[in-house]
Amino acid sequence: MALLAASALLLVGCSVDEPVVATPTPTAEARPIGESATPTALAFAPLRGTRADWAAMQHPSIAAKIDNHEEARPQVALNRTDIVFEELVEGGLTRYLAVWHSDMPAQIGPVRSIRPMDPDIATPFGGVIAYSGGQEMFVAMMQATPLVNLVFDLDDTGLFSRADERPGPHDVILDAAEALSRNAALPPPPVQFVYGGTDPLADPAFKAATTSSVSQVFSEERYPSWSWDAAASVWLRSQEGAPDLDDAGAQVRAVNLVTMRVDIDWQYGEVPKTVMVGTGEVWVSVNGRTAHGTWAKSAREAPIVFTADNGEALTLAPGNTWIELVPTTGSVAFAP
């Protein structure tokens, strides 16, 4: 039932106390009597749960494998993403699988190579996936999905370029505007999560704890942390103790912070595969609160479902989301 709700409904609250249940079907926006302007069809951004112009949402999402090496920072347009997953890769480092839809930038990057868990992460979004290449078996796994694959190593159409000011191989940039233009006929992504009001965990049934910061340890090399900024109503991200900035100089931020504990499959030798199809422990942090529950993903093409300890759906606030895929060998800590 939770899966059906996440796929079919957006819970959009006008206030914390008065959530409204709405489908993404467009409606005519009310205007003052006598105003001659053409009504605007209203809908909801499927990956953010925020109000949006219906026509502006009728295009696919673009997912991309984004580098998180020190020399790849700051990443391009990271604060314009709808959803970002952080995952463990070789050497204790991490990379992102980032998804853009409601706010599509002209360029994104640095784009890096694919990993074995990425088909399981990206497939539910449909649309386009961009990456620089990868081991042949991993590329074949991604090409076997329904997504349109844009691969730097195979591209001769000018979709990718190298940024002169960045060191290689952390310099591959995707022309996202052109990529979207070439694939504009693809449908928009389906809804992934259930959204509520701006303080969706306020119900005492969730037993959400007041949270000022969240710390996650992937390895000795990667230990991101998040601090709650009440004035801006966002979580602000740091990496290895320093503020994490995007290419515009702003600290990376998220309205919703999801921390999933995940197993690691080592069948590919030194390349870790985050196990995405299954179930595990999850914490959802929204509006300075954190609720505990369980995540579940039934198949590669299925979205991730978050369920609170009381059996209800763990609801997100309208806005962007970061999902930290923390290995069970790592750790998670929450400060009140």
pLDDT digits (tens, 9 = 90+) for 2-38: 433 443 333 333 333 333 333 344 333 333 333 434 5
Looking at the chain, the whole-number percentage of residues with pLDDT higher than 70 is 88
Is residue 148 within 8 A of residue 142, CB to CB? The reply is: no
What is the pLDDT averaged over residues 215-227?
98
What is the pLDDT averaged over residues 43-66?
97
pLDDT value of position 16: 35
CA angle 318/56/6 to nearest 5° reads 40
Task: Indicate the range of 25-34, 59-68, 172-181, 263-272 predicted with least confidence.
Answer: 25-34
pLDDT value of position 40: 55
**Tens of pLDDT, residues 112-169:** 999 999 999 999 999 999 999 999 999 999 999 999 999 999 999 999 999 999 999 9
Q: What is the residue type of 324? A: E
**Tens of pLDDT, residues 169-194:** 999 999 999 999 999 999 999 999 99
**Tens of pLDDT, residues 29-48:** 333 333 434 555 779 999 99
What is the pLDDT averaged over residues 222-244?
98
**Tens of pLDDT, residues 85-98:** 999 999 999 999 99
| Mean pLDDT, the chain, integer | 91
pLDDT value of position 55: 95
Looking at the chain, the whole-number percentage of residues with pLDDT higher than 90 is 87
Which residues neighbour 269 within 8 Å (Cβ) at sequence distance 6 or greater? Answer: none
pLDDT value of position 41: 73
Whole-model pTM: value is 0.89
What is the pLDDT averaged over residues 298-316?
98
φ, ψ at 300 (rounded to 5°):
-55, -45
Domains of the chain, with CATH numbers?
Answer: 62-182 (3.50.90.10), 204-335 (3.50.90.10)
